[in-house]
């Protein structure tokens, strides 16, 4: 019976069948909090229990990071905001379902039609959730990545980030090449097969060791809710960015696996979200990185993976 259940879950993850993998709203979740990834070597990438923070040297000061993040927000075109139904307040140790309804309500059509949002949507079904399953990387998927990166680099957000990073000598080549390397390079994550990337972990999500790893993106959270594969259990904390989006820390179950604590931006463009993570990863990796959006101060936490002499993204998320 257990073998058939695992097989069914894998098939659901690949097919994305509506309603497949959704657990009952009365299902309880063990009071465990998923530890985020720490800096690891390519020989043994894993997730380990370490409190985020770190004391790495920053290539930008706190004031410079605040200025840069506010500038990125100022040049961002933004999107019309989705509506949220937060419902009950919960905690990472809770077992009761405090949200009978999905987190996401309506999302304006103009938001989903925005070029970078639409192109990110095309990437979300390109990955195997299980970190033990080898990724099949097709030419069509490579083309989708390239179209997404090209669209990102046409935005004022990424052009502004590139100017700032070059001015501070943090990068010397093109930002597009850097984005391709740090976000889409594939690697092993706690197994023997190439099964992960920074983009998959952060923006899509993975299943590892009976729990959800990553999945810090509102677009995929909403998509999986609509398909019946994600069951929102309540919110832990909410930060309103004064009309420019929100950050919400939540508890949920995805494909029958728990995520006791996870934080996501909501109503933020792909270019702004990726630009903030990239700036923090390059300027202050493996640490809490202080940023400011619309006068709201918070941190972004990034973790790196060392791979063939270079550093790529292991995880990134808003830390509230």
Measured CA to CA in angstroms, residue 179 lies from 105, 165, 282 at distances of: 32, 13, 11
What is the number of other CB atoms lying within 10 angstroms of the CB of residue 138? 10
| Candidates 114, 188, 201, 233; catalytic one | 201
pTM summary value: 0.84
pLDDT category, 56, cuts 50, 70, 90?
low
In the residue annotation, 66 being an active-site residue is answered as no
pLDDT category, 25, cuts 50, 70, 90?
very low
**Residue 14: pLDDT over 90:** no
Q: Would you say residue 63 lies in a domain?
A: no
Q: Would you say residue 243 lies in a domain?
A: yes
pLDDT of residue 112: 97
In the residue annotation, 259 being an active-site residue is answered as yes
Q: What long-range pairs does 61-66 form, CB within 8 A, spacing at least 24? A: 62/290, 64/168, 65/279, 65/280, 65/283, 65/284, 65/289, 65/290, 65/291, 65/292, 66/290, 66/291, 66/292, 66/297
pLDDT of residue 147: 98
Domains held by the chain: number: 1
pLDDT in tens, 254-269: 999 999 999 999 999 9
**Residue 34: pLDDT over 60:** no
Q: Would you say residue 56 lies in a domain?
A: no
Q: Would you say residue 276 lies in a domain?
A: yes
Distance CA 97, CA 117 (A): 30
pLDDT of residue 263: 98
Q: Would you say residue 154 lies in a domain?
A: yes
Q: Would you say residue 219 lies in a domain?
A: yes
**Residue 219: pLDDT over 60:** yes
Which region among 27-41, 186-200, 227-241 has the lowest average model confidence (pLDDT)?
Answer: 27-41
Q: Would you say residue 156 lies in a domain?
A: yes
| Candidates 208, 246, 259, 284; catalytic one | 259
| Candidates 208, 216, 246, 284; catalytic one | 216
Provide the mean pLDDT of the chain: 85
**Whole domain around residue 276: which residue ranges?**
79-319
Q: Would you say residue 283 lies in a domain?
A: yes
Residue 20 vs residue 288, higher pLDDT: 288
């Amino acid at each position: 019976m257990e073998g058939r259940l695992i097989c069914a879950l894998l098939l659901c993850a690949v097919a994305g069948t509506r309603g497949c993998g959704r657990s009952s709203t009365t299902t309880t979740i063990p009071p465990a909090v998923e530890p985020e990834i720490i800096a690891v070597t390519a020989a043994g990438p894993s997730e380990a229990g370490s409190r985020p923070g770190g004391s790495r040297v920053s290539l930008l000061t706190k004031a410079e990071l605040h200025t840069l993040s506010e500038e990125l927000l100022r040049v961002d075109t933004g999107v019309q905001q989705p509506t949220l139904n937060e419902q009950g307040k919960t905690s990472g140790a809770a077992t009761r379902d405090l949200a009978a309804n999905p987190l996401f309500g309506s999302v304006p059509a103009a938001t989903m039609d925005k070029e970078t949002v639409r192109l990110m949507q095309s990437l979300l079904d390109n990955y195997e959730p299980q970190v033990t399953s080898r990724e099949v990387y097709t030419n069509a998927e490579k083309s989708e990545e390239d179209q997404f990166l090209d669209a990102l680099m046409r935005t004022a957000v990424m052009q502004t980030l590139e100017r700032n990073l070059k001015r501070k000598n943090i990068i010397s080549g093109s930002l597009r090449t850097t984005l391709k390397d740090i976000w889409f390079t594939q690697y092993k994550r706690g197994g023997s097969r190439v099964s992960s990337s920074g983009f998959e972990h952060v923006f899509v999500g993975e299943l590892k060791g009976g729990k959800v790893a990553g999945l810090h993106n509102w677009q995929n959270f909403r998509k999986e809710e609509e398909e019946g594969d994600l069951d929102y259990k309540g919110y832990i904390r909410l930060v309103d960015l004064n009309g420019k989006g929100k950050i919400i820390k939540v508890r949920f179950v995805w494909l029958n696996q728990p995520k006791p604590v996870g934080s996501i931006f909501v109503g933020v463009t792909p270019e702004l979200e990726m630009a903030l993570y990239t700036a923090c990863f390059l300027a202050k990796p493996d640490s809490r990185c202080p940023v400011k959006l619309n006068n709201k101060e918070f941190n972004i936490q990034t973790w790196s993976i060392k791979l063939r002499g270079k550093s790529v993204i292991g995880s990134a998320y808003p830390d509230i």
